[in-house]
Amino acid sequence: DRELAVLRHLYDDMATNSNDGKEGAAAGGGPRVSFLGSNNGSRVVFLSGYSGIGKSALVKEFIHQIQREYNSTANNDSSSPILHFSGKYIQQSGGAAPFSAISQVFGNMVSSLTKGQQGGNNKADEKINEGGAHNYTRSLCNKIWKQIQSSDVIGPGTDGNEVLIDIFPSLRPLLDGSCVSSNRLQRMESMSNIEGREEKGEPSMNAVKESTSELLNMISSSLQRPLVLFLDDLQWADGPSMELLLFLLANAQMKNLMFICAYRSNEVGVDHPFADIMTKVTESRGEFVAKVDLFSLSQEAISQFIADCIGMEEVDSVKELVEVIYPKTMGNIFCVMQAIEELVRKNALYYDVMCFEWRWTVDKVELANQVGADVVETVKAKIRGLSVDIQNILAVMAYIPCSVDVSVLKELLLTDDALNENEIASLLKEASEEGMLIFLAESGHYVLAHDRIREASRGYLGEKEDHDQLLLHMADVLQRLGKGSKMEWCLYTAVDLLNSLPSDKVNVTDLIKLNLRVSKIAKRRGSPGKENSLLRECLERLQPFKWKDYDLSLEVYDAVIVSEYTLGNQDRATIGIEEVLDNAKCLRDKVSAFLHRVKSLCETKDYAMAAHEGVKILNMFSYNIPLKPTKLDLVREKMKLRLAFKGRSYASLTNLPVVDDPLTELFSEVCRDCLFSGQPRLVVVIAWTAVRRAIEKGIDRYFPLCLLILGTLLGKKGNVRAANEIGNVALMLSENFRKNKSDYSYTQFATYAGIIFYLQPFRSGVDVLQQCYKDLKFSGKFEFSLGSMLNYFYAYFAAGLNLGSILESKLLVLDEFSQSIDKSGFAATFQIHRQFVINLRQRSEQPTLMNGPAFQQDEVSEMNDQASKMALRDASIFRLELAFIFNDIECMAAMLETLAAYPFEDQVISRFYIRACFMGLAAFSLAEKNYHAIGNKCLKYFRRMKKLGSTNAPPAYFFIAALKKPTKKAFTTAIDSCREASMPHLEAMARERYGMFLLTRNELELANSCLTSAYWLYFDWGAHGKSLSLAREYPFLKAVKRAKGTGTGSHVSSRSGTATAKSAVSGSVQNSGGIYKRQGTFNYNSTMSSRELIKKRR
């Protein structure tokens, strides 16, 4: 009752109806848990106890109670069951597929939703769920399918949809809509096969996490009452399950969902992975987590149980039995039941048909001798007393990690006389009556009643002579059955059975091939640890005859190298690398080993050594690349490239065929190492060599990365046009490999951030960068995904897009995400960005200080040297922009001094644009001549970029030039340039500075009109704090009204220099009054506006 009270309180508190079942939590004086009643987020229960203590029974009773109570409420028609699903891990972890228990949950869930059946705990529950339940689940299926269709994470055709079907095949009816229309399921399922799926790239763990949480949220949010998921025996969960479970349990965004996680307390120590999960989830979810410990029953409770079992009314009458059984079972209810049955089997406890009661005639000492201390041996003894056919069935089921139907069981049985399905069904029912099996209504299958029965059945089979023969037979059958996505578990079990046998009992070559095959499936299903263990088994079996079967040995070692390197086992990877390099017959067979030798050197951050080794390896393929290229070498290589192109441009590369060329990845890796080690000439030579190889062989998926590195280097060296040409070709080539989202998105992100923005508008890339962030994050490339969003925000700010509240929300989410994966540098940058937005949007007495709710300047000093240096640079860039906007002379001077110490270059083009632009503007805004050198440097940079064709450069160039030599023509040219480039923030600043310039010339009417235009432009940009500041400085703006139908910057025609729209002033600058009221709003939709603008211009 105490433990049930905790579960009831958790559930009732979360339930959608706040009036449901509040009294259930208070009964019994049990443990109390306090929650925020208005929060319907997920709840987590960690349920611990010894094996056989009654954890599963407690959960069943809990489900029964909440369903009964819900059906009894007046507003319920008893047709909408509380959905609850369970999954169980088994100790035979090697024979189970990754995510086995979670797969069971989803399988039961789909079965329930598509068939309109919810497994009940007893006949009363089944009766409750009849009739209207089918209509309810059909309606629920439609509701869930509609949500899935609209999802950009798991909707049809998305990567998330494909990932979920690959990892959890039973979800297909729900994810392809066949739960609504059955025809689609048959068509798509017939197309599904394991071999076809093995050819695809493996999904990232983050893709599995996000897709699974999205689906669970959609299902739980469609329910009237919270969804209950019960996962049992988590002490045996595999690594991927643990990782997914941590994400789901710690996710505060999960709603209307209750997780019950059961484990054996005596098998989960402080070093166990699940113990770490419990600690992290408790820390992150706090009061929404409860821990329930189940203990053995007291001697009084056991006395009552035994008395009930044998029909004794008085507890004292079974005292002698209790004194024998209790010390040997310690109150474990499963062990007590087995002890009673053992006494009955040995006739120490018998039913007297003459007296119609249970009796025992032996004394306490003899009774004690009849009860075994080991429950597994007790169950074995019971198995020996069953029929041979039941023994065979139990032996087979002991090795099967999931429930199976009768037809599969029939094939797996190894008997002299073949049993038909009806006979097997009858035997299963008999075994259930003996307490060895239980029937699952959700799946319609029988499973072993307890893990101790599984252990005993295996032990009993191990004593028999035909043990190995049965395992071989089962493995053979399972391999034949292991076709289709839903039967993958057969291959996992088959390989586990065969791996348990000695080499003289199996065909070793076939076993190695099976291990290789299943390792690929494990990799595809997001389980690199499982893949690695199977590959190590391959390696062990291969040792006696390695390299005698050359192709098989090479395949095993190549797979082992990749697996060990991926898991960070550098020593093991190195052993495999040396083995291949010593024994492979040709250079092509050594490519994978060569590649990972170079990659291993990169792990030590010795990029120069990695580059040197990479060049030596490439030269083995007859390329003759000089280790230290001279100018003459560059001339020679350029001539070779021209000859290869035959007068064509880089664009001709888009016509080349797509091929699989393993050496191209090595080219891209060595290019990267040369770039990181500061060897630009070597980068150029290697990239040109890669281009010549591509012209000869074709385009491999890694070739766009080679072009990207070459283009980035050329851009940094000032050859912007060539860089832009190469960057555009890299983008076009990457379209051939769009299915590989990780490489494709990285190429898109890096090309826009490091090349495309030189010449093309910043606003043209913001949507691309945001999508790259989503795809890279989904692929598990967190650092690249954050880099994509960092460039997104710099491009966003450089383009002057709207500073709405959504932008702040995005920055806050990214700040939290960065901190969650321990990327403090990114977190600090996003905090700076958010504080910049806050300072512009909100009124502040000191808007140029980076001290606020998002960021504190003092935090910079607490970072390490490199992080502090970068954070200081980023904060100074935005403080300089704020200082220019708010005309803070002292801050401008201080920030110029700070930024002048940094090199006048940056790999992030948009960040450098903001920096150079406002350094130039600030330099000519200050009276001191010594800053003008900085301004001239910036002006020179933008002049050069303008000549090269940059669409971003003219606004900055003309604005800086206007401040250097202020004239009406200079300002109007700058204003027009800003408007043409759709940069409202620079246009607002230019109009304000033009108004200030006109005031010095006493041209008040035109000055007022310019300031009015600036006021509305700031407002439209989202810089409401600046608008208010401007109104305080020029009081006439407080009464200004916006003319109907006017858009951004329509108050002044800058070319004519005269007011063409009504200035709407209530007096001159010197004589004005009134209270400022916002007369209208104007939402600037940056994405749609930029998109339409680009279309019109084209």
- Quick one: pLDDT at residue 116? 57
- Quick one: pLDDT at residue 31? 35
More confident residue, 317 or 985: 985
State the average pLDDT over residues 620-640: 93
What whole-number percentage of the chain has pLDDT above 90? 48
- Quick one: pLDDT at residue 1030? 93
Between the alpha carbon of residue 33 and those of residues 29, 167, 684, the distances in Å are 12, 36, 65
Between the alpha carbon of residue 617 and those of residues 620, 666, 700, the distances in Å are 5, 9, 19
Question: What is the full DSSP assignment across 553-606?
Answer: HHHHHHHHHHHHHHTT-HHHHHHHHHHHHHH-SSTGGGHHHHHHHHHHHHHTT-
- Quick one: pLDDT at residue 536? 95
Residue 740 CA to residue 425 CA, distance in Å, equals 48
pLDDT digits (tens, 9 = 90+) for 818-841: 998 888 889 999 999 999 999 999
Question: What is the full DSSP assignment across 889-951?
Answer: HHHHHHHHHHHHTS-S--SSHHHHHHHHHHHHHHHHHSS-GGGHHHHHHHHHHHHHHHHHT-S
10 Å CB burial of residue 1049 (0-12, 13-18, 19+) is: buried
Residue 546 CA to residue 527 CA, distance in Å, equals 27
Residue 140 CA to residue 119 CA, distance in Å, equals 17
More confident residue, 294 or 922: 922
Does the structure show a pLDDT above 60 at 521? yes
Could you tell me what percentage of the chain is helix, strand and coil, using 3-state DSSP and rounding each to the nearest 5? 65, 5, 30
Lookup result for tokens 């791996």: 499
pLDDT digits (tens, 9 = 90+) for 439-497: 877 677 888 888 888 888 888 887 777 788 889 999 999 998 887 666 788 899 999 99
Q: What is the mean pLDDT of the chain?
A: 84
pLDDT digits (tens, 9 = 90+) for 995-1051: 999 999 999 999 999 999 999 999 999 999 999 999 999 999 988 887 655 554 444
- Quick one: pLDDT at residue 399? 87
State the average pLDDT over residues 770-792: 93
How does residue 180 score in pLDDT terms, banded at 50, 70 and 90?
Answer: low
Lookup result for tokens 């916002």: 1078
What whole-number percentage of the chain has pLDDT above 70? 86
Are 934 and 912 in contact by the 8 Å Cβ rule? The answer is: no
Lookup result for tokens 């010795």: 606
- Quick one: pLDDT at residue 868? 81
Does the structure show a pLDDT above 70 at 133? no
- Quick one: pLDDT at residue 1094? 35
For residue 623, the SS3 value is coil
| Residue 169 one-letter amino acid | P
Are 213 and 247 in contact by the 8 Å Cβ rule? The answer is: yes
Does the structure show a pLDDT above 70 at 75? no
On the CB side of 314, CA atoms within 13 Å amount to 4
Question: What is the full DSSP assignment across 54-98?
Answer: SHHHHHHHHHHHHHHHHHHSTT--S-SPPPEEEEE--S-GGGS-T
Does the structure show a pLDDT above 50 at 1056? no
Are 351 and 315 in contact by the 8 Å Cβ rule? The answer is: no
> Which H or E run includes 533?
helix 528-542
Dihedral sign, Cα of residue 50, residue 56, residue 59, residue 60: negative
In 3D space, the residue among 825, 847, 845, 820 whose CA is nearest the CA of residue 836 turns out to be 847
> Which H or E run includes 220?
helix 205-221
State the average pLDDT over residues 650-664: 94
Among the residue ranges 146-150, 261-265, 293-297, 1063-1067, the one predicted with the least confidence is 1063-1067
For residue 1073, the SS3 value is coil
Structure tokens at 436: 């060895």
10 Å CB burial of residue 566 (0-12, 13-18, 19+) is: middle
Find the DSSP H helices in 755-888. 766-778, 782-799, 805-820, 824-841, 865-885
How does residue 1 score in pLDDT terms, banded at 50, 70 and 90?
Answer: confident
Q: How far, rounded to the nearest angstrom, does the alpha carbon of residue 105 sit from its chain's CA centroid?
A: 20
- Quick one: pLDDT at residue 186? 40
State the average pLDDT over residues 557-579: 94
Does the structure show a pLDDT above 70 at 83? yes
Are 755 and 726 in contact by the 8 Å Cβ rule? The answer is: yes
More confident residue, 354 or 623: 623
Does the structure show a pLDDT above 60 at 844? yes
Are 484 and 497 in contact by the 8 Å Cβ rule? The answer is: no
How does residue 132 score in pLDDT terms, banded at 50, 70 and 90?
Answer: low
Residue 528 CA to residue 536 CA, distance in Å, equals 12
Distance linking the first and last C-alpha atoms of the chain: 73
State the average pLDDT over residues 630-648: 93
How does residue 1089 score in pLDDT terms, banded at 50, 70 and 90?
Answer: very low
CB atoms within 10 A of CB 464: 13
pLDDT digits (tens, 9 = 90+) for 677-693: 999 999 999 999 999 99
Structure tokens at 107: 């399988």
How does residue 157 score in pLDDT terms, banded at 50, 70 and 90?
Answer: confident
Q: How far, rounded to the nearest angstrom, does the alpha carbon of residue 329 sit from its chain's CA centroid?
A: 45
- Quick one: pLDDT at residue 198? 40
Between the alpha carbon of residue 420 and those of residues 14, 392, 411, 413, the distances in Å are 49, 14, 10, 11
In 3D space, the residue among 209, 200, 278, 238 whose CA is nearest the CA of residue 95 turns out to be 238
